[in-house]
Chain A
Amino acid sequence: MVMGIVYALVNVLVFVLLAPFYDGVARRLTARVQSRKGPPLRQPYLDILKLLGKENVISAEGWPFRLAPLSAFASILAVIVLVPLGAKANILSHRADVITVVYLLALGGVSVLLGALASRNTFAMIGASREMMTMIMIEPVLAMTLIMTAVKVNSLGLQGAMAGVSASGFGLSTGLMLAVYLLALQAFVAKQPFDIAEAEIEVLEGPFIEYSGPNYALFKLSMMLKQMFYAFLFVSVFLPAAGTGVYPLDILIQLAAILAVFVLIAVVGSTNPRLRIDQAVRYYAVLIFLSLCAVGLALKGL
């Protein structure tokens, strides 16, 4: 019981303290691919600290504007507390299952939309509509991933589903889902070629155009946590667990694997152009179809 609480706290600490580091790694790698010396690795920490020190300009009346960053941060934090890091279930893992995780991640996306629509700015509305389309098309792929692992272990519980390959072996369905997840990874973490809605400050200001200071820091931190969570999901579901049994060592191995996933994200992100929303929607439709095929194969027992 006490260890359960300790595991939950370790989850939060590891994720919140390391997510900006991974984002810094991604930025530095992007810079190196562009042949320039990038920002130092601790740059996102400095960014968030600086944003927390700025004045909070409330430029729209009403509670949705103020609620949106808090609910986005809270939802991703709730997801982080639930997942079993290092293959150890914590005190809250029994109270939630796969559907809860999907719901909470969707809640995070809806908070961004809420904030964007509360801004009463045309650019924010365009960003919000693109974010909506992206969310509608990409949440099914995430749900299919988790449902496929749940089908393979015959239960919706988080501990079994997130264990993925280590619990149920590597089959045809897992292989297909691995490919689909990797193809959709860039859309999950909102980087090129699919950062159409969120980080798209160069082409059209995204849904965060009216946010400043601490609100924006919360949004940025929740984006970084989301990135790290999706990388962690890949590592936990599709890579066999190290199984050393020593909790810190398990965590370290998983963190190293997350670093490798981030390297992949950064390299793919910096060598690809950004797609238009209609091209992206066509791409996602193919991915949804393939993920449904993978779930079908899992149901067949393959």
Chain B
Amino acid sequence: MWLTSKIKQILMVLKPGVVTLKYPFEPRPVAKDFRGQPAWDHHKCVGCGGCAAHCPARTILVRDICQELRIMIYDGARCAYCGRCADVCPEDAIVMTEQFELATGDRDDITVTMELFMLTCQRCGRCYNMETTNMIDKMELKGFRYDHLEMRAVIPKATERFDAKVLEATERYERPRT
């Protein structure tokens, strides 16, 4: 009874043979609607900043650096590949590609930088400048909106807010001996 069930088990496992995929040596297709790394099309992007406003990990940062230039940086380190940026883009400039082979030794390898040309006003000849026009736009500055490039420097990290003594105590942590 026990022996026959073991023999039956061995015959059963011999039927499928070896099922291992030869993955790194043969490419592997992805499922339909798979969300890999997002890709921007700079011909279509208008620089609205919608993707930056909707990113849950605040991984897309937008900033005007001079009169007609807006810089957008996608810093792929924190991206959760949720696809909200692609959903919200009004020009369909963002496409979630099928690229998932993103392993790298350096986090700067998965960044996308885009420089956008912003149009000037036909009447005054300047670009729309957020900080100085009105109160509502001033509220959208630091502290209220995180998608400005300046925020990249002030995003607080928990280790920087630690009490120095607490942080030092963690260096000398010892497992309790009972």
Contact = CB atoms under 8 A, between A and B. Distances in A.
Whether A and B touch directly in their complex, counting CB atoms under 8 A apart, is answered as yes
A37 B22 CA distance: 10
Interface in A32-49: 32-37
B9 interface: yes
B20 A33 contact: no
Contacts of B19: 35-36
A56 interface: no
B13 A35 contact: yes
Contacts, number: 21
A85 B16 CA distance: 40
A37 B6 CA distance: 22
A37 B18 contact: yes
Interface residues on B, range: under 10
Contacts of A34: 13
Nearest to A122: B178
A32 B10 CA distance: 11
B17 interface: yes
A35 B18 contact: yes
Interface string B1-35: 00000100110010011111000000000000000
A37 B20 contact: yes
Contacts of B9: 271
A36 B20 contact: yes
Given A33-B13, A34-B13, A35-B13, A271 B18 contact: no
A32 B18 contact: yes
Interface residues of A, number: 10
Contacts of A267: 10
B10 A33 contact: yes
Interface in A18-76: 32-37
Given A271-B9, A271-B10, 10 more contacts: A33-B10, A33-B13, A35-B17, A35-B19, A36-B19, A36-B20, A37-B18, A37-B20, A271-B6, A272-B6
A271 B20 CA distance: 19
Interface of A: 32-37, 267-268, 271-272
Contacts of B16: 35
A286 B13 CA distance: 31
Interface of B: 6, 9-10, 13, 16-20
Contacts of A33: 10, 13
A282 to B, nearest CB: 16
A271 B19 CA distance: 18
Nearest to B19: A35
A78 to B, nearest CB: 37
Nearest to B16: A35
A126 to B, nearest CB: 15
Contacts of A37: 18, 20
A205 to B, nearest CB: 15
A186 B21 CA distance: 32
A268 B16 CA distance: 19
A36 B16 CA distance: 10
A36 B9 CA distance: 16
A10 B6 CA distance: 39
- Among B6, B9, B18, max chain A CB count under 10 A is at B18
Contacts of B20: 36-37
B37 to A, nearest CB: 30
A185 to B, nearest CB: 15
A217 B63 CA distance: 57
A202 to B, nearest CB: 20
B161 to A, nearest CB: 35
A272 B2 CA distance: 11
A34 B9 CA distance: 11
21 contacts: A32-B18, A33-B10, A33-B13, A34-B13, A35-B13, A35-B16, A35-B17, A35-B18, A35-B19, A36-B18, A36-B19, A36-B20, A37-B18, A37-B20, A267-B10, A268-B6, A271-B6, A271-B9, A271-B10, A271-B13, A272-B6
